[in-house]
Structure 1
């Protein structure tokens, strides 16, 4: 005979305070996404899942969060059209059903993602890793209907070169050259030679809200992030590739602030058809080579606000 166990989560709390986010973190799953006429994508994502908790309930039904994740993953395993942000939206919808007391539900997913590229000179094929990010948030309205907003993004490693230090090196070398060259010849040398600077490993992140009728490819976001720094980096580099990477990076020095501005401009240009209320986040953290601290910049805005700043119709 089955024993009926008490459900203490539904009891009244001793301190009636509403909580903003309660749930589970670090839920790891194996996910295989089928793709038409292509090899399936194998991912090992990590999920965080939260709901809000009213002030008259002691606790959430915690097991329902990983349960919802598992149920949705089983249903999409053979769906060749699903994307990871829609997957998160489906989990949010499932959680809304399981947590009938919740007004707000949130799911986030991060996973390593491998993409192929070629080294700049030798054209060796190399496997590169980035991190994909997907989020979905559900809101239960007063009339009982549910609104779900989803986001897709990526975190990518690249290389940045400091413009300030490079200009200092250039000026120092200019004064040395003038000791034995005239000004015209010195200027020709300055215009020809690439000058040294300190550089950083840059970590760029973009997160874009995706309306129901739109598709945003993760590969395009990765390209936007990479091209917003001084240079992409590559796992496999032979000597000519190393030379080209260093020279190209030093020919395109950028501050951490410029990386974020570059990303935002590229997003506004590529996705100008997104609704004005589309939320966009871009951030850059440069791991400094001559300081013990890192440099950081971020912008959070809507597409409408961004287009107004850039005078884009």
Structure 2
């Protein structure tokens, strides 16, 4: 039996019927446990999902996918045997090892995605609760020495629509006037009482390039991403907390476009030392409540481009979140 197996051809090395190169071939959804150390705190255990790819030249029929799984197992075992400070080091090592194992490839990619469970407190009663934040690291490396590495986060929150609120405000002013209130009284009433609007659950994504000399803490990216929306959401809310969330969200209405722009301002504010050529990707998606579609806004730019556009005129609004 061993002799028969030894005589079997390596099908991946055969010539393909259609000899064209492929940009990416690999595997997705590979689940692994990753332990991330924290100074002075207990380590974080992440249930992580890996996507790995290499390019394939035109003369080969396929890649040896078993090598991809071996790379992830070996690299994670090696790196978790000692403290890991950030996830970007892990994806870089996976990508490097992919190139080592696939000698025909010129490019390799590795992406890690995980859900981070964070503890926080509700805004009024200060009750303990938890929050799920999606974090990820991405690495693309080439044999010619090029390397592109990102870390990122995705958080959820609530957004309130400013357009619908203005419509409700105008209708309310008309009704108050019909009831005999003068303009000054109407203005004071509308300032005192939060005006209704339709809401969305928002998802803010922020991805920033990291280099050997420029790093970004995941916790800081989470903080910045949260500022893009009208307010935070919570798993558990007492009545006082629910009132605070709804009122604050309606006093801080945001278009989906506002979210990306405010994120950009706060990103520059948080990392003034970031080199001009460092890339950032900002994305806000709102799941509409009165429409059957979602709305999305995105921006992909360098820090230098954002600085030139925002200039001294752009001052980010302070986050209303607790």
TM-score, structure 2 normalization: 0.92
Question: Could you list the per-position Cα deviations for residues 162-216 of structure 1 after superposition, in whole angstroms to 9, with x for gaps in the alignment?
Answer: 0000000001000111121111211211222210000000011111110112221
Contact kept? 2:38, 2:85, Cα under 8 Å:
no
Contact kept? 1:89, 1:149, Cα under 8 Å:
no
Question: Could you list the per-position Cα deviations for residues 99-148 of structure 1 after superposition, in whole angstroms to 9, with x for gaps in the alignment?
Answer: 1111111111111111111100011121110111110001111xxxx332
Return the match for 2:117 from 114, 118, 122.
Answer: 114
Task: Specify whether residues 78 and 33 from structure 1 end up closer, same or farther in structure 2 by C-alpha distance, changes over 3 A only.
Answer: farther
- Residue matched to 1:191: 191
- Residue matched to 1:99: 102
Question: Distance between the aligned counterparts of 1:241 and 1:134, measured in 2?
Answer: 34
Question: Could you list the per-position Cα deviations for residues 22-58 of structure 1 after superposition, in whole angstroms to 9, with x for gaps in the alignment?
Answer: 0001111112223333211111111110111111111
What's the offset of the Cα at 1:81? 4.0
Query: In structure 1, the residue corresponding to 2:301 is in which secondary structure?
Result: strand
Query: In structure 2, the residue corresponding to 1:63 is in which secondary structure?
Result: helix
Asked if residue 70 in structure 1 is aligned to residue 73 in structure 2, the reply is yes
Return the match for 1:89 from 89, 92, 95.
Answer: 92
Question: Could you list the per-position Cα deviations for residues 66-96 of structure 1 after superposition, in whole angstroms to 9, with x for gaps in the alignment?
Answer: 1111111101113324311111001011111
Matches within 5 A, 1:269-308: 269-308=269-308
Contact kept? 1:33, 1:79, Cα under 8 Å:
no
Contact kept? 2:155, 2:204, Cα under 8 Å:
yes
Contact kept? 2:30, 2:51, Cα under 8 Å:
yes
Query: In structure 2, the residue corresponding to 1:311 is in which secondary structure?
Result: helix
What's the offset of the Cα at 1:219? 1.3
Query: In structure 1, the residue corresponding to 2:311 is in which secondary structure?
Result: coil
Query: In structure 1, the residue corresponding to 2:16 is in which secondary structure?
Result: coil
Asked if residue 52 in structure 1 is aligned to residue 47 in structure 2, the reply is no
Asked if residue 10 in structure 1 is aligned to residue 10 in structure 2, the reply is no
- Residue matched to 1:238: 238
Contact kept? 1:31, 1:44, Cα under 8 Å:
yes
Aligned residues: 308
Matches within 5 A, 1:151-300: 151-179=150-178, 180-300=180-300
Query: In structure 2, the residue corresponding to 1:246 is in which secondary structure?
Result: helix
Query: In structure 1, the residue corresponding to 2:69 is in which secondary structure?
Result: helix
Question: Distance between the aligned counterparts of 1:41 and 1:265, measured in 2?
Answer: 30
Asked if residue 79 in structure 1 is aligned to residue 67 in structure 2, the reply is no
Contact kept? 1:34, 1:77, Cα under 8 Å:
no
Over the aligned positions, Cα root-mean-square deviation in angstroms equals: 1.3
Query: In structure 1, the residue corresponding to 2:205 is in which secondary structure?
Result: strand
Question: Distance between the aligned counterparts of 2:9 and 2:147, measured in 1?
Answer: 33
Contact kept? 2:35, 2:84, Cα under 8 Å:
no
- Residue matched to 1:61: 64
Question: Could you list the per-position Cα deviations for residues 204-235 of structure 1 after superposition, in whole angstroms to 9, with x for gaps in the alignment?
Answer: 11111101122211111111111210001111
Structure 1, unpaired ranges of 5+: none
Question: Distance between the aligned counterparts of 2:160 and 2:82, measured in 1?
Answer: 43
Question: Distance between the aligned counterparts of 1:15 and 1:52, measured in 2?
Answer: 16
Contact kept? 1:33, 1:78, Cα under 8 Å:
no
Asked if residue 124 in structure 1 is aligned to residue 123 in structure 2, the reply is no
Question: Distance between the aligned counterparts of 1:109 and 1:97, measured in 2?
Answer: 19
Question: Distance between the aligned counterparts of 2:84 and 2:29, measured in 1?
Answer: 26
Query: In structure 2, the residue corresponding to 1:44 is in which secondary structure?
Result: strand
Query: In structure 2, the residue corresponding to 1:244 is in which secondary structure?
Result: helix
